[in-house]
Structure formats: structure tokens, C-alpha cells
Amino acid sequence: MTNRFISAFVLAATLFGQLASAQKYNTIDKSIAVVGNELITVSDLESEIKALRARGQASDKATRCQVLEAMMENKLFLMQARLDSLSISNDNVEAYLNRQMAEYRTMLGGDEQMESYFGKSMYEIRKMFKEQLQDQSLIQQERGQIESSIPDLTPYDVKAFLDTVDRDKLPVIPQKYKLSQLCIYPDREKAKMECKERLLNLRERIINGEKFTTLARLYSEDPGSSRKGGELGMASRDIFWPAFGDAAMSLRPGTISQIIETPDGYHIIQVIEKKGDMFNARHILLKPKYTDDDRDKAFRKLDSLRTAIDSSKITFEMAVYGWSQDPASRTNGGQMADPNTGSAYFEVDQMKPEDYSAVEGLEPGQISKPIESRDNEGRDGNLVYKIVRLDKIVPAHTATFENDYTELLESVRSLKAGEAVDEFIDKKVRETYIIIDPMFGDCDFSRDGWKEKIRK
């Protein structure tokens, strides 16, 4: 059972390190920098280093210098954010905080273990997390406000950039592909019903005396838990899909749930233990299966349409309007669009591997053989059978004003935003009361202004 919020883990790891380091240095902590009315201590720095080490990065003296400089810059943003009276969305902070607390309670095994690890009450831990998240929110807002303060850019600005920048520093536009598709889906309702029937059969076998753990090892399609007899371990309900967590919390230990549907598939659950809003449970996960007959039937239809298009009996667009079952591309004559950007052009790494394999080696205007692929619905996408037409290839090239104005505009905007941030930091370093411990006197800071702030 995977976690919906795994993408938030990077910031969480940093906060986790900060709390752990605070515990380590709580009796011998030392201030190593003062930025206005903000302190940076040994424990603050070492927590960041610990988070870097957890991600496999270096933790030598040079790294500590770089991290300290970044921390001091953040303090400048934080001070300005408070002067600017920037507001924090408490709803967003609370939602994020709840997710992080659920993560750590699950990692450590519950409230008591979390309190023991940090040597603090849950109230104190939650308070520390919340303060860190609020600071992060203010820093990001202030930086964004500075970056967005640059004037609106015009074609003149882009031309001026082109006139002054070295050609070898111009952005290189990677090769891009424009594609169209004609999609046929397998009978999803039939596959769902068959999946539920298989799961009901397993449920009945458990009720009649067979071991849940044995059937989970044999049949569950959750690789993470199946080898453990379906057991998930003690975890907060909040890390699971809502339907799964709600169902588990409503069960008495030992009883078997009805079929539960989540974006992962279909489950039956057996709760082992409950403690507050945490539980340990077993589950069996099954996903809808599609048969060779589904595939063969779709491929035969796609092959016949491809033949008709190639022989000019029908256009690709007409075939799409008549037979494609993908609503997003059907209304555009089959033209595909990147779901993240809306662009009709795809770089290789933006394409599904199956789609790229289908058109690799084709000439513009040619149509692929039928393939299996995935659509953009849900977390992993639904199975779909399709043919893909390669409409156009734009070779990799150095950006030009005529053909790549949007990309160049973004490059200039990014450059100007970076200059605005640098100007802000340099100005604040000059004007702000800052003291840096002499132990960092030999640091090669990127800004000369820091050197003047080292205590003699």
C-alpha cells in the first residue's frame, strides 16, 4: 500500500533532521551566526547536514560553508517577510503538518515511540514542526514576491538578451515530437466485475477457515506487503487512501472487510490491532485483469483502421472521430497534448516509453502498429490500446527569436528574477546586523559581503 504523500518527503526529511539534531545538542548548543534578530546554532547547521547525508551528499567543511550561507540567506528572506507582514495560510500549514505527523508516527511506531525518540511531548514536537513549516512558507513567499517584482518583459528585452549573451550560453531546445493517437479501451467494467468476484472468492475462503496470510502471499498484488502475509505494520490512517483508512478503522480486530475500492485497485482488509487513529492490518490487493481476447480484438480493429488510413479510404482524423474512445484527444482529431503543460509538443522524457517506442524510427505522417499503453487518468493510468501517428519532429537546436520566443522569454525572466534576488540579498547583507563565528573565517562564501561579517 503506497503513500499518497510521498512527494512531500524531502521537506519532511529536513524537518526530521532538525528535530533530531535539536535533541542531540540541547545541552551544548552554540550560536554560530546572528542575522538581525535571528540565530543560527550548531544544531541548526548539523540538522541540515544530516538531511544532506541522508540523501547521499557530501558533509565536508566546504559543504557546511555552503549550507550556512544558504541558511543565512533564508534568515534575510524571513526577516523581510515579517516586515512585509506576509500572511500564512494556516489551513495549508495544518494540512501539511498533519500529513508529516502521520508520516513520523508511522515511521517510529506511534506517539510513545515518537516522544521517546525526541525526548519531548507530542504537543512540543507538533509545535516545533509547525514553526518550521510557517517559516518555510514565509521564506518561499518572500522569495517569490521578489522574483515576481521584475517589470513585464517585452520582445525588446528578449532581443537585447540575444545581442549581449554568448551564443554558447543560449538555451538548447531538445528534439520534440508532435503526435496524434486513436485509442480503444478494453472492457473495463467486465474486468472490474471479474476482479471483485475473485476477491469475494478469497474472502469466502478466509471466512471458511483458510489463513488470510497464506492467501495474501499467494494472490495479493501489493509487492510490499504480500511477502509478509499482507501485513502493513502499525501506521496512521492518514497515510492511506481515505476509503482504506476509514474501512480499517471501522473494523473490529480479526474481522474481514467487504471489498474496498481505492485508486490502487480492490482490497479486503483484516485489522490486527488498533490504537487511537493508528492501526496494523493485513490486506489483499487485486487489480482488474485484461485478457488476450481483449487485446486481440482491439488490435484487429486498430490494424484495420490503420490499413484503411494508409490506403486513403479514410483520413486519420475521420477514424478518430468515428472510433477513438479517448475523450481528450478525440475532439482534436487525435492530437495529443502534454497534461502538465498543455503543449502539443513532447520531449522524449515527457512521452510514455510505449509511445516513444511506437514512433521511434517513423517518418512524419507514418502511423505505428497497434500498441499497449497507459492514459493519464489516476496515479498509474488505465490500460489502453492505440495507434500513434508521428505528425512532426522538431530537431534539437539553439534557441532563436523567430522559432523559440517563449523559451527565450522564460530564460530572460529567470535571469532577471535571479538578478533581483541577488540584489536583494547583497543589499540586506550590507544593511543588516550580522555576526558570523570565526570558525567559518576560511569559508569561500559566494558573496563577498559575508566575509566582512565574521567576528574578529
- CATH number for the domain spanning 205: value is 3.10.50.40
In DSSP terms, 42 is beta-bridged to none
* Pairing of β 278-286 and β 235-236: antiparallel
Residue 168 domain flag: no
* Closest to 206 (Cα-Cα) out of 132, 284, 276, 105: 284
Domain shared by 384 and 449, yes or no: no
pLDDT at 397: 93
Instruction: Give the SS3 label for residue 4.
Output: coil
DSSP state of 341: T
Edge-to-edge strand ranges of the sheet holding 434-436:
38-41, 31-35, 434-436
pLDDT at 55: 65
Domain shared by 95 and 202, yes or no: no
How many whole angstroms separate alpha carbon 79 and alpha carbon 296? Answer: 65
Residue 167 domain flag: no
Query: pLDDT per residue over 374-404, tens digit each?
Result: 988 867 788 999 999 999 999 999 999 988 8
* Closest to 266 (Cα-Cα) out of 245, 287, 242, 250: 287
pLDDT at 382: 87
pLDDT at 167: 84
* Closest to 351 (Cα-Cα) out of 374, 333, 334: 374
How many whole angstroms separate alpha carbon 302 and alpha carbon 370? Answer: 6
Domain shared by 318 and 449, yes or no: no
Task: Count the domains in the chain.
Answer: 3
Among 3-12, 35-44, 309-318, 335-344, the minimum mean pLDDT is found in 3-12
pLDDT at 5: 28
CATH number, domain at 18? 1.10.4030.10
CA angle (351, 352, 358) in 5-degree steps: 95
Query: pLDDT per residue over 4-24, tens digit each?
Result: 322 233 334 444 444 444 444
Instruction: Flag whether pLDDT at 438 surpasses 50.
Output: yes
Residue 85: left if φ>0, alpha if ψ -120 to 50, beta else—which one? left
pLDDT at 13: 43
Interval 319-339 mean pLDDT: 93
Domain shared by 137 and 237, yes or no: no
Mean pLDDT for the chain overall: 88
pLDDT at 28: 56
CA angle (287, 235, 280) in 5-degree steps: 75
Query: pLDDT per residue over 153-166, tens digit each?
Result: 999 999 988 888 88
Domain shared by 42 and 138, yes or no: yes
Interval 160-175 mean pLDDT: 88
Burial track 220-242 (b if 16+ CB lie within 10 A, e otherwise): bebeebbeebbbbebbbbbbbbe
* Closest to 101 (Cα-Cα) out of 124, 120, 129: 129
Residue 156 domain flag: no
Domain shared by 317 and 387, yes or no: yes
Helix (H) or strand (E) holding 357: helix 353-359
How many whole angstroms separate alpha carbon 105 and alpha carbon 63? Answer: 31
> Domain limits at 349?
176-187+291-395
Query: pLDDT per residue over 268-295, tens digit each?
Result: 999 999 988 889 999 999 999 998 999 9
Domain shared by 249 and 383, yes or no: no
Among 182-191, 321-330, 372-381, 439-448, the minimum mean pLDDT is found in 372-381
Percent share of the chain, pLDDT over 70: 93
> Residue 184 corresponds to which cell in the numbers above?
480503444
Q: From 234, 259, 286, give the residue that closes a domain.
A: 286
Q: What is the dihedral of CA 115, 242, 140, 173, to 10 degrees?
A: 130
> Residue 130 corresponds to which cell in the numbers above?
509547525
> Residue 113 corresponds to which cell in the numbers above?
515511540
pLDDT at 403: 85
pLDDT at 22: 42
Domain shared by 279 and 132, yes or no: no
* Closest to 429 (Cα-Cα) out of 118, 170, 76, 187: 76
Contacts of 197 (CB under 8 A, 6+ apart): none
Instruction: Flag whether pLDDT at 50 surpasses 50.
Output: yes
| Count of CB atoms situated within 10 Å of the CB of 23 | 12
Under a CB-based contact definition with an 8 Å cutoff, are residues 19 and 128 in contact? Answer: yes
> Residue 443 corresponds to which cell in the numbers above?
569559508
Residue 159 domain flag: no
pLDDT at 25: 42
pLDDT at 90: 82
pLDDT at 102: 84
Instruction: Flag whether pLDDT at 326 surpasses 50.
Output: yes
Domain shared by 15 and 109, yes or no: yes
Residue 157 domain flag: no
Q: From 226, 251, 286, give the residue that closes a domain.
A: 286
pLDDT at 56: 74
Domain shared by 357 and 442, yes or no: no
How many whole angstroms separate alpha carbon 174 and alpha carbon 177? Answer: 10
Q: From 232, 259, 286, give the residue that closes a domain.
A: 286
Under a CB-based contact definition with an 8 Å cutoff, are residues 287 and 267 in contact? Answer: no
Residue 382 domain flag: yes
Domain shared by 200 and 245, yes or no: yes
Under a CB-based contact definition with an 8 Å cutoff, are residues 299 and 371 in contact? Answer: no
Phi/psi of residue 322, nearest 5 degrees: -85, -30
Phi/psi of residue 380, nearest 5 degrees: -110, -5
- Number of DSSP helices (H) and strands (E) in the chain, helices first: 16, 13
Contacts of 144 (CB under 8 A, 6+ apart): none
DSSP state of 360: T
Query: pLDDT per residue over 88-117, tens digit each?
Result: 888 888 888 888 888 888 887 788 887 887
Residue 78 domain flag: yes
Contacts of 362 (CB under 8 A, 6+ apart): 368, 390
CA angle (232, 238, 240) in 5-degree steps: 45
* Pairing of β 260-262 and β 383-394: unpaired
Residue 166 domain flag: no
Threshold 0.75, pTM exceeds: no
Question: Could you tell me the pLDDT band of residue 452, with boundaries at 50, 70 and 90?
Answer: very high
| Count of CB atoms situated within 10 Å of the CB of 327 | 8
Helix (H) or strand (E) holding 19: helix 9-24
Interval 317-341 mean pLDDT: 93
* Closest to 16 (Cα-Cα) out of 103, 121, 135: 103
Interval 253-274 mean pLDDT: 94
DSSP state of 298: H
Question: Could you tell me the pLDDT band of residue 54, with boundaries at 50, 70 and 90?
Answer: low
Domain shared by 105 and 240, yes or no: no
